[in-house]
Amino acid sequence: MEIMQTQKLELLKLKRLGIDTYHENILFLRADCSVCVSEGFTALTRVLVQFNGKQIVATLNVVYAEILGAGEAALSEIGFLRLGAQPGDCIEINHLPPIDSLKDVRAKIYGNALSEKAFQAIIKDIASGYYAGVELSAFITACSGNNLTLAEIIGLTKAMIESGTRLNWNREIVVDKHCVGGLPGNRTTPIVVAIVTAAGLTFPKTSSRAITSPAGTADTMEVITPVDLSLETMQSVVEKEGGCIAWGGSVNLSPADDVLISVERTLDIDSEGQMIASVLSKKAAAGSTHVVIDIPVGPTAKVRSMEEANLLEEKFIAVGKAIGLLIDVMITDGSQPIGRGIGPALEAKDCLAVLKNDKEAPLDLRLKSLQVAARILELAETAEKGKGLAMAMNLLDSGAAYKKFERICMAQGGLKIPGHAAQMTTIKSEVDGTVIDIDNRKIAKIAKLAGAPSSVNAGVVLLTPIGTKVSVGDVLFEIYAEAKGELTYALNYLNTGNQPISIV
Amino acid sequence: MEIMQTQKLELLKLKRLGIDTYHENILFLRADCSVCVSEGFTALTRVLVQFNGKQIVATLNVVYAEILGAGEAALSEIGFLRLGAQPGDCIEINHLPPIDSLKDVRAKIYGNALSEKAFQAIIKDIASGYYAGVELSAFITACSGNNLTLAEIIGLTKAMIESGTRLNWNREIVVDKHCVGGLPGNRTTPIVVAIVTAAGLTFPKTSSRAITSPAGTADTMEVITPVDLSLETMQSVVEKEGGCIAWGGSVNLSPADDVLISVERTLDIDSEGQMIASVLSKKAAAGSTHVVIDIPVGPTAKVRSMEEANLLEEKFIAVGKAIGLLIDVMITDGSQPIGRGIGPALEAKDCLAVLKNDKEAPLDLRLKSLQVAARILELAETAEKGKGLAMAMNLLDSGAAYKKFERICMAQGGLKIPGHAAQMTTIKSEVDGTVIDIDNRKIAKIAKLAGAPSSVNAGVVLLTPIGTKVSVGDVLFEIYAEAKGELTYALNYLNTGNQPISIV
């Protein structure tokens, strides 16, 4: 066969157009530039952009006006950042080689089970930024529902661990916890870390940002202290204090997971297999050995029945075993939100109130945190079976937990006071009676429409838990937002048949 | 409950930045504009853009540099077109209301069957441009594999018919044909339409562009004559000549289908249920009554076994019956490409050669076209059972078919001569022997890497069908491309273990 040489392409000089496309690498080229003409590149072609030994995959937008001069190209803001390039630098543009792992994605779409090797190839390409949004979405969708076997979940989990950094703390026991979510305001983590590290255990906590909820632990903690820690900072915090509460994405643990989560958030889906892989890959990569998983069960929680919870428990334990983690699953009451605030700053205020033993602190959040801490203390054999709760309570009530929390925050970069939203409105009862039900999903939706988690001060404060007696005009809950439009948006949803609180 | 008023948002003046984003509506707003600040809009927020009674959904890019002035906004080129706006016009920007039908998409992802009503809501929103790429991808993936029941395929088909124009020809019999594809170069349609309309039947053919193949019928015909016909033009062509060969998308038949196809092309998947819905919705919307479906079967064709073909035949007939179409399925040999050319212009040349009774015309393409025409003539009872082939052959050999083809093209806007690609290379045999196998998928991939179908003159010309005796140095096939880079790209693929022709 005859072979042609790949010709060297012309270099183009970068100009800054200042276009923010969030996580999407966009390359802007003039329609008449030699690369477009000679390579047949058109809008939305995926191309390889190279500079100084680095490369990124970008999606092409073609420019027909004078915002770019001859010989110039531009990148979206994130493109400059990821490529490490500055305006004036010269980039090289090439065809994107075919992404082989997409064959495996198609096989999965057609119902075939994937091998660990296939997951490794897919996750590696995703972590490298080679997948377009529609391709990520196809992978996520194909793995959703109950479409992954246990062997596939293990394969995916291992692939996700291997795609990033793996921490090693050189300690025999490293504990962690995770809540499966679906329960607004269930923000026990900062309190649990404080109690458990005050007991002397090692607890290097890395948390996700929200997927489909109004706030993730990382979103909440970011209101109080920096969570975007470098690996070095995280290690020195844990070395010094025994624990930390960091955002997992910033230390490159399971990096593909954050890409997948950003698409899952858009789609508002959170599949079982990917959830297990996401949770346990982060735990293993963070160097944990003993992990407590909290599965709240309730009619409007993520897990709605005990059967479902039991199946999930089995899978967590089996996948944990396959990757060397000792898992303890606690199935808890998920019938209503925990704490009062729903949204990053509002939840942070609840956590601080509990830690400071404030008389007004939400009792349910305090109790739940103590229970989780107790399970960890017992799993790690720091407390004898049955003695965990007393130990946890003593650490919290004595102020030892809050002191430890302050020290961790100072080590992470300082302790901030949560702020207030610019807009607030109150929702009042129109009847006399007793609150008999709270729809978690509707409460979460209202908080999200009001701007949470991206507006950190936005959200909902719930004043009437199940069982509260209310009269006409009593405030049921408050909605906080930064922009009037967002408040309107939340109210429009509420007023079109989506009242979350049932009173009889 | 207290209700707040939706406030009137500020108007922004449109500026043209000349950015081509293909089919994606992108709205560019300054980070400091009042709409971004007051509404909390950030990059990738999906927003509603309104102008002069029209509205589009656009994805936001946020601009941090001086390419936009105060009070200015910009749209991608397609955004201007779809909104019918010009630079200087003032647009209004609002929050996108929640897309309710995404609930149904999520239900499908979790394995639930969808009702006809659910498909109607989804398809209506897709046709309105309300779905983002990741959402389209999730819908397509969830409906792929064998994930649609027969009832769901019927529901999807009906929803697709209802989403667009439905033609009515006021004739008792309106014929059509469709080939399930997977066979490069299988371009019988122009020839079949010419023969069948020459026999006096009504054949208002609308075709798709390529999904995963190097050329669709619309791509091929566009090389010869305009296919982007308005509904009025199409009707007058059919009124005058009894038939046409138009691109379906331009007459708004089943408009959601073209959106879905553009994503399927990116993903390189083409699912059974959606394929049946896509094909039959277009036929029904085009006003057909009698339809012949050609399913080529072969080891590298789209359908690989007789069992698969028979199951597909059953589904086509059942869905056809549910929507009032009489379907005849012919299962044909799909073991190798038909004709010599693969790619729009190269296939168009083959068609013209057959129509003109050129001595060099590919015999296999001639025979296949006659067989399909015969089945249509018999299904419509224009020819008696068993007499269709003789009638078709007489119409082709007498020149009546070519005369009719010329008249149809003139009515559509003129007859063009196919062009030549700028770059060509030949692939020669390295051994003596006999061609025993041709891999359709590899041949198609080479043609696509060379630029087909978007570069109309690009593709492959296959010179040695199965059974050909070849010597060292004989040309097996030619690769055509417009850009050198594309030729290199195709050759790189070929030379990394992807030789499509087996010789022993």
Q: Which pLDDT tens digit goes with each residue over B348-370?
A: 999 999 999 999 999 999 999 99
Residue whose token pair is 């990148």: A75
Q: Write the CA distances from B140 to A266, B213, B259, B274, integer angstroms.
A: 16, 18, 11, 8
User: Span B12-26, mean pLDDT?
Assistant: 93
Q: Which of B501, B447, B485, B463 is nearest to A4 (CA)?
A: B485
Q: Which residues contact B374 (CB under 8 A, 6 or more apart)?
A: B383, B388, B389, B391, B392
Q: Which residues contact A408 (CB under 8 A, 6 or more apart)?
A: A193, A194, A197, A225, A237, A241, A243, A244, A245
- Interface confidence, given as ipTM, is 0.77
Strand runs labelled E in B69-121: 72-75, 90-95
For the cut 60, the answer to whether the pLDDT of residue B5 exceeds it is no
Nearest CA in chain A to B455: A40
Asked whether residue A293 falls in the same domain as residue A435, the answer is: no
* Cα angle, residue B471 at apex, residues B465 and B473 outer, rounded to 5°: 100
Selected residue of B20, B92, B211, B503 to mutate for chain A interface (largest A Cβ count, 10 A): B20
Q: Among the three residues B40, B61, B95, which one is the final residue of a domain in this structure? A: B95
Judge whether A130 lies within some domain.
no
* B423-428, strands of its sheet edge to edge: B341-342, B459-462, B475-481, B423-428
CA distance B41 to A451: 10
CA distance B382 to B215: 31
CA distance A1 to B199: 47
Asked whether residue B394 falls in the same domain as residue B320, the answer is: yes
Q: Among the three residues B412, B431, B452, which one is the final residue of a domain in this structure? A: B412
Asked whether residue A228 falls in the same domain as residue A327, the answer is: yes
For the cut 50, the answer to whether the pLDDT of residue B4 exceeds it is no
Of A38, A269, A499, the CB nearest to B485: A38
CA distance B148 to B143: 6
Asked whether residue B388 falls in the same domain as residue B451, the answer is: no
Q: Which of A155, A164, A157, A156 is nearest to A128 (CA)?
A: A164
CB contact under 8 A, A134 and B39: no
Peptide bond preceding A453 in cis form (omega within 30 of 0) = yes
Query: Rounded to a whole number, what is the distance in Å from the CA of B385 to chain A's nearest CA?
Result: 39
Judge whether B145 lies within some domain.
no
CA distance B409 to B237: 9
Q: Do the beta carbons of residue A96 and residue A39 sit within 8 Å? A: no
Q: Which of B234, B225, B168 is nearest to B205 (CA)?
A: B234
Judge whether B398 lies within some domain.
yes
Does the CB of A52 have a partner CB in chain B at under 8 Å? no
What b-and-e string marks burial along A392-408, b requiring 16 or more CB atoms within 10 Å of the CB? Answer: bbebbeeebbbebbebb
For residue A1, what pLDDT is reported? 29
CA distance B58 to A450: 21
Asked whether residue B183 falls in the same domain as residue B84, the answer is: no
CA distance B13 to B10: 10
Judge whether B130 lies within some domain.
no
Q: Which two tokens stand for residue A129?
A: 């930024």
DSSP sequence for A288-316:
-SEEEEEEEE-TTSSB-SHHHHHHHHHHH
Does the CB of B111 have a partner CB in chain A at under 8 Å? yes
For the cut 70, the answer to whether the pLDDT of residue B2 exceeds it is no
Judge whether B152 lies within some domain.
no
Give catalytic residue positions of A: 270
Asked whether residue A85 falls in the same domain as residue A19, the answer is: yes
* More confident position, B267 or B198: B198
What CATH number is attached to the domain comprising A401? 3.40.1030.10
> What is the sign, positive or negative, of the torsion defined by CA atoms of A500, B1, B2, B5?
positive
* Cα angle, residue B446 at apex, residues B348 and A9 outer, rounded to 5°: 110
CA A180 vs. chain centroid, Å, equals: 12
CA distance A281 to A499: 38
* CA dihedral of residues A314, A318, A321, A326 (deg, nearest 10): -10
B354: left (phi over 0), alpha (psi -120 to 50) or beta: alpha
CB atoms within 10 A of CB A370: 25
CB atoms within 10 A of CB B387: 13
> What is the sign, positive or negative, of the torsion defined by CA atoms of B239, B245, B250, B252?
positive
User: In chain B, positions 291-310, which contact chain A (CB-CB < 8 Å)?
Assistant: none
Q: What is the largest CA-CA distance in chain B?
A: 86
Q: Which of A294, A320, A290 is nearest to A381 (CA)?
A: A290
For the cut 60, the answer to whether the pLDDT of residue B489 exceeds it is yes
Asked whether residue A398 falls in the same domain as residue A454, the answer is: no
Asked whether residue A193 falls in the same domain as residue A293, the answer is: yes
DSSP sequence for A348-398:
HHHHHHHHTT-TTS-HHHHHHHHHHHHHHHHHTTSS-TT-HHHHHHHHHHT
CB atoms within 10 A of CB A303: 23
Q: Among the three residues B77, B95, B113, which one is the final residue of a domain in this structure? A: B95
Selected residue of B137, B428, B456, B474 to mutate for chain A interface (largest A Cβ count, 10 A): B137
**B461 bridge partner residues:** B341, B478
Question: Chain A residues with CB inside 8 Å of B430's CB?
Answer: 1
The pLDDT tens digits for A39-83 are: 778 888 889 999 999 999 999 999 998 899 999 999 999 999 999
Label the pairing between strands B290-297 and B175-179: parallel
For the cut 90, the answer to whether the pLDDT of residue B435 exceeds it is yes
CB contact under 8 A, B95 and A425: no
Q: Which two tokens stand for residue B16?
A: 């043209």
Label the pairing between strands A501-503 and A433-438: antiparallel
CA distance B449 to B375: 35
Q: Which two tokens stand for residue A262?
A: 């950003």
Does the CB of A200 have a partner CB in chain B at under 8 Å? no
Element (H, E) at B393: helix B388-397
For residue B417, what pLDDT is reported? 94
What is the percent of chain A where pLDDT is above 70? 97
The pLDDT tens digits for A332-345 are: 988 888 899 999 99
> What is the sign, positive or negative, of the torsion defined by CA atoms of A103, A105, A109, A112?
positive
**Count of the separate structural domains present in chain B:** 3
Label the pairing between strands B54-63 and A46-51: unpaired
Domain that holds residue A54: 12-95
CB contact under 8 A, B451 and A40: yes
For residue A185, what pLDDT is reported? 63
Residue whose token pair is 């049955």: A386
Exposed/middle/buried for B302, CB within 10 Å: 0-12, 13-18, 19+?
buried
Asked whether residue A399 falls in the same domain as residue A433, the answer is: no
User: Span A289-293, mean pLDDT?
Assistant: 97
Residue whose token pair is 């087996």: B502
Does the CB of B19 have a partner CB in chain A at under 8 Å? yes
Query: Rounded to a whole number, what is the distance in Å from the CA of B407 to chain A's nearest CA?
Result: 34
Per annotation, catalytic residue among B104, B219, B270, B439: B270
Residue B303 is given by DSSP the state B
Judge whether B22 lies within some domain.
yes
Asked whether residue B21 falls in the same domain as residue B79, the answer is: yes
Query: Rounded to a whole number, what is the distance in Å from the CA of A407 to chain B's nearest CA?
Result: 34
For the cut 80, the answer to whether the pLDDT of residue A249 exceeds it is no
For residue A416, what pLDDT is reported? 95
> What is the sign, positive or negative, of the torsion defined by CA atoms of B486, B488, B489, B495?
positive
Asked whether residue A302 falls in the same domain as residue A376, the answer is: yes
CA distance B418 to B312: 35
SS3 B43: coil
Question: Chain A residues with CB inside 8 Å of B67's CB?
Answer: 17-19, 67
Does the CB of A498 have a partner CB in chain B at under 8 Å? no
Judge whether B311 lies within some domain.
yes
pTM for the structure as a whole: 0.81
Query: Rounded to a whole number, what is the distance in Å from the CA of B470 to chain A's nearest CA?
Result: 15
Q: Do the beta carbons of residue A330 and residue A295 sit within 8 Å? A: yes
Element (H, E) at A448: helix A440-449
What is the percent of chain B where pLDDT is above 70? 97
What CATH number is attached to the domain comprising A476? 3.90.1170.30
CA distance B246 to B208: 9
Asked whether residue B232 falls in the same domain as residue B352, the answer is: yes
User: How big is chain B, counted in residues?
Assistant: 504
Q: How many helices (H) and strands (E) does chain B have?
A: 18, 19
For residue A103, what pLDDT is reported? 93
Type of residue at A34 = S
What CATH number is attached to the domain comprising A48? 2.40.40.20
* A290-297, strands of its sheet edge to edge: A175-179, A290-297, A326-333
Question: Chain B residues with CB inside 8 Å of A499's CB?
Answer: 1
Element (H, E) at A179: strand A175-179
Average pLDDT in chain A = 91
User: Span A387-392, mean pLDDT?
Assistant: 97
Three-class SS of B7-40: CCCCCEEEEECCEECCCCCEEEEECCCHHHHHHC
Judge whether A129 lies within some domain.
no
B339: left (phi over 0), alpha (psi -120 to 50) or beta: left
CB contact under 8 A, B266 and A135: yes
The pLDDT tens digits for B179-227 are: 887 666 678 999 999 999 999 999 999 887 877 788 889 999 999 999 9
Q: Which residues contact A2 (CB under 8 A, 6 or more apart)?
A: B425, B426, B427, B428, B491
Residue/partner pairs of B116-123 with CB below 8 Å, 24 or more apart: B116/B154, B116/B155, B116/B158, B116/B159, B118/B155, B119/B152, B119/B155, B119/B156, B119/B158, B119/B159, B120/B155, B120/B158, B120/B159, B120/B162, B122/B159, B123/B156, B123/B159, B123/B160, B123/B162, B123/B163, B123/B256
Average pLDDT in chain B = 91
